[in-house]
Every structure is written in structure tokens, then in C-alpha cells.
Amino acid sequence: MRAKNLEWDAIKVDLFKAEQYDAKYLKLNPKGIVPTLVHDGKPIIESTLICEYLDDTFPVPRLIPSDPWQRSRMRLWSKMVDEGLFEGPLSVGIRTGRDWTDKAWTIGGQAELPLKGNIKLRPSGDLLFPEHAGMGYQLNGDAVIYLGQGGGLYGGGGAALVHPHGGDTDTGYNLLFGLSTAESQQTTKGFIEFRWTFINDETPFKTAIGFMHRL
């Protein structure tokens, strides 16, 4: 907009106060991300589409090259941004729960790395405290998909590495689903989760509660 000498009003959306999830903002940008351009009362979202919209609406000076080959080079760059940009900041959290099959209390931590859209990479680990045995641990590499923006139902799965007390380390698969609150003004959200690990013909079932904090 500066290159085109346009005048505009900047409205700050503080991501660290989770203002991108305010109902009013979500009406403009249902993905709950910045930036959003509002022109003539209509919202335009996605940086590359905003640039194209500005060039179509205010063609002087032209930013998109007129030469078709140059234009395809420009679109290659914007395609990379659209397809490859890491969306949003990292969250970390702690959780505690119960392994109902092995009768163990669990305490652990997890990180959440946003990938594309509502898909997040979710490495996690738990210490297991069975009632009649010593401490074991489980490490997980999961991916989850959120059905709502900011909070709501999510589900996913991934790989598990389980090391019971005094036993061999085994690998298996996780299936999980959970419910998370929307991020509060302090950028924390709570969650409750249900997990199954498929390992050596057994399927231990765990529940966990915890909270995540966006860094």
C-alpha cells in the first residue's frame, strides 16, 4: 500500500492477547490469522491474495509484472509462501492423567507446532507411575487436526515409544481425540484428552487433562 501511495488505517490485532480469535475478527478472517484488508466494507484475506487485490484495484504503479514469464516467476514465489509458510507460533504444555489399563498415574508434557490450516504436529512424553511397579515412560510423535478455530474438538494419531519399568522398549501407534477450550486473553488453553496406544496386541487407554501456553 505504501508502494502505491495509498492511505489506510491500521488496526492492531495483538496475537499475544489472542485478539485474532475475537468473534468480531473471526467474522472478517475465519482462519483467525493476520493480515486482513478491509476495503469498501469487504474483507480480503491471505497476504498473496491481498497483494493481487491491491494491484487489480489500484493498478498504478503496477506491481505484478506484465511479462507472462516474469509473472509466472512472481507466482512461483507467492505459491511457496502459500504452500510452505509455517503458520503461527509454538505452544508448550503440561498434562497429567491416568492409564486405566495399566493402572498408572501419568505426568507429562507436550509441544504443538502449527503446520498447515488446523493441522498441528504434537510431540509429547509422559512418565508412568504404575501402582505395583516402578516408573516407566512413553514418548509420542503425533499429529492432530482441530475441527474448530482456536478451540473445540480435535483428533489425531502417530507413533509411540513405550518403556515400562524393567521391560523392553516397544513401539506402537496412538489414536487420540480431545476437547480444548479457546485460547484466553493470556494465550493459554485447557484440554481434556482420550488416548489409545496400540502396542503388542494390547491397547492401553489413557485420559489426560492439561493446559497449553502459546509462546
Ligand X SMILES: N[C@@H](CCC(=O)N[C@@H](CS)C(=O)NCC(=O)O)C(=O)O
Binding site for ligand X (CB under 6 A): 15, 20, 32-35, 46-47, 85, 87-88, 114
Locate 164 and state its grid cell. 515400562
Q: Which residue, 123 or 150, has its beta carbon nearer to ligand X?
A: 150
By the 8 A CB rule, do 36 and 28 touch?
yes
Q: Which residue, 22 or 87, has its beta carbon nearer to ligand X?
A: 87
Q: Nearest distance from residue 45's CB to ligand X, in Å?
A: 7
* Start-to-end CA span in the chain (Å): 30
By the 8 A CB rule, do 176 and 156 touch?
yes
Q: Which residue, 55 or 170, has its beta carbon nearer to ligand X?
A: 55
Q: Nearest distance from residue 205's CB to ligand X, in Å?
A: 32
Q: Nearest distance from residue 109's CB to ligand X, in Å?
A: 21
Q: Which residue, 21 or 196, has its beta carbon nearer to ligand X?
A: 21
Q: Nearest distance from residue 84's CB to ligand X, in Å?
A: 10
Strand spans (E) along 31-169: 36-39, 42-45, 91-99, 104-114, 119-130, 136-146, 152-163
Locate 87 and state its grid cell. 503458520
